[in-house]
Amino acid sequence: MKLLRPCLGGLLALGLLLIPGSSQAANLRLGLGADYWFDQGASFQLNLGVETHLAGPLHLGGRFGVALLPKLDTLGIPIDLVLRFNLARRFYLEGLVGPWIVIDSGETFRAHAAFGFGIRSGALSFGLEVGYTAPDPTLGVRLGYRF
């Protein structure tokens, strides 16, 4: 937990350095997700993401939303910095990192890091995500729609 603040500060600084000029348009992405959070149960998410083109196939963005955690009988707020690499027009790889805020739990801020991959078809995308949300690993599916 002591390393979370410096890491978040570094990510924020990196994000500010990589903000594109006004000539580059940002994309909005609405996403649905379902995860199995080992030893913590299921997690169902609704996310809104913003991303912008960096260079070549790289895109930088962020996502935030709400997560329903039925086994913990609470809600969470996932917040992630996303680096996406688009491959061959149809496939993508992405890395995500950020805090998840779990309301009414003993540990409110939980570190999250994940690797995702999937397929894109026009504005729709479908993928898998493998990661870690403190204190356990996660495995999930994602469905997204880009505006």
In sequence order, which residues have a C-beta less than 8 Å from that of residue 81 and are 6 or more positions away? 11, 15, 60, 61, 62, 96, 97, 98
User: CB within 8 A of 92, min separation 6: which ones?
Assistant: 84, 85, 86, 116, 117, 118, 119, 120, 125, 127
pLDDT given for residue 145 in this prediction: 97
Residues found in the chain: 147
How would DSSP label each residue in 17-39?
HTPPPTTSPEEEEEEEEEEEETT
**pLDDT per residue as tens digits for the range 65-87:** 999 999 888 999 999 999 999 99
pTM for this prediction: 0.79
Task: Determine the pLDDT at residue 72.
Answer: 83
- Read off the pLDDT of each residue in 40-47 and give the average, rounded to a whole number: 94
Helix (H, G, I), strand (E, B) or coil at 45: strand
DSSP-H helix ranges across the chain? 4-17
The first and second tokens of residue 13, run together, are 């600084």
